[in-house]
A and B are shown apart, each in its own frame.
Chain A
Amino acid sequence: MTSRSLRASAATSARTAVAAFAAMLLGSFLLYGVGFAQPQQIHDAAHDARHSFAFPCH
């Protein structure tokens, strides 16, 4: 493998890692909102979904 293709490969992996971590971060944020956040309105809206998905609810 030439140094050029190594560099290209490293850039691809870095790009992959950034996209993967960004997706995981956004996913965690959504799941926190659906499953864990405690403000009353969010709790009430997600209430049945929380119980059905077995998140601790109240």
Chain B
Amino acid sequence: MDLFRRLFTAALVAGVLSGTAASVVQQVTTVPLILEAEKYEVVTPPPVAAAPVMVGPVAQAAMAALAPAPSDHAHHQAAAPVREIGEGVPTTAEEAFQRLWTTVVANLLAGVGYALLIGGVMLLMGERVDARRGLLWGLGGFVAFSLAPAYGLPPELPGMAGADLEARQLWWFAAAICAAGGLLAVAFSRIPIILAGGVLLAALPHLVGAPHAESAAGVVPPELAARFVALSLGTAALFWAVLGSVCGMMMSRVVGSDDHGDDGF
């Protein structure tokens, strides 16, 4: 239990630092693009006064039903965007602040979650770690949890066309786990069959292929999507570099010393 507590402490520090770094960078890189993209998934009903497609008595009746009182107020209501997905672009400072802090909390939790995962594997592998070796672990985490899934399912903006969510989540998970397993096999084994198995394991989800939408009919401009992919991967690289090196440093200071000094850890 004591060992777990120390491992948790190490992961907490690494997760909070990397989550904070990611939060700061995201606010000037990925988040502005997410907000921009959300404008494209907003559905605005045609203005009551100028709806060129709606002619004839049926359409007149439909429009009357939509806007019973053609006052200024009703016009604003009818022209107000109707959201399809998610909570929508924040319109007040309060909404914006809530969106900011929930994102920061989610980033911190993701940081601690990944740090616990990496810290646990570091402990299991039993190799001595420090900040420099931790950076290598962070590189591995980036490849396994950011690059490998993104190779099949590029980081997506709201409003992009995609296959069924559960299928994508399953494939994402498989790609990450297989890449992580493959990397560990290649990094820690000297047995040829395990090395070959690791490479095959990492390649397997990509040989099967990621689920994609049948037609690429998203509403987000491709230029925006392309910038998002690059910024998202760049931010993830920074996140993993901080996470890995801090986790390595903390593991050597908090976890690795007295418990394993006598058994070759």
Contact = CB atoms under 8 A, between A and B. Distances in A.
Q: Tell me what chain B mostly uses at the interface: helix, strand, loop, or mixed.
A: helix
B164 to A, nearest CB: 10
A54 B150 contact: yes
Interface in A1-34: 8-9, 12-13, 15-24, 26-31, 33-34
Counting contact residues on chain B (CB < 8 A from A), the size range is: 35 or more
Contact of A56 (B11, B22, B31, B165): B165
A30 B7 CA distance: 16
Given A9-B263, A24-B117, A33 B168 contact: no
Given A51-B157, A52-B31, A27 B165 contact: no
B158 A16 contact: no
A18 B235 CA distance: 33
Contacts of B85: 58
Contacts of A52: 22, 26, 30-31, 34, 103, 107, 155, 232, 235
B232 A27 contact: no
Contacts, number: 150
A36 B106 CA distance: 12
Interface in B118-173: 119-121, 123-124, 126, 146, 149-150, 153-158, 162, 165, 168-169, 172-173
Interface stretch (B58-66, B68-76, B108-116, B198-206): B108-116
A19 B162 contact: no
B209 to A, nearest CB: 15
B259 interface: yes
A44 B113 CA distance: 19
Contacts of A28: 113, 117
A22 B119 CA distance: 11
Contacts of B115: 27
A25 to B, nearest CB: 8
Given A44-B87, A46-B102, A52-B34, A20 B123 contact: yes
Contacts of A47: 34, 86-87, 103
Contacts of A53: 110, 146, 232, 236
Would you list the 4 A-B pairs with minimal beta carbon distance, nearest first? A27-B116, A30-B113, A49-B106, A54-B155
14 contacts: A19-B7, A23-B8, A23-B11, A23-B116, A24-B117, A26-B113, A30-B110, A47-B34, A48-B26, A49-B26, A53-B146, A54-B153, A56-B153, A57-B156
Interface of B: 1, 3-4, 7-8, 11, 22, 26, 30-31, 34, 85-87, 99, 102-103, 105-107, 109-110, 112-117, 119-121, 123-124, 126, 146, 149-150, 153-158, 162, 165, 168-169, 172-173, 232-233, 235-236, 259-260, 263
Interface of A: 8-9, 12-13, 15-24, 26-31, 33-36, 38, 43-58
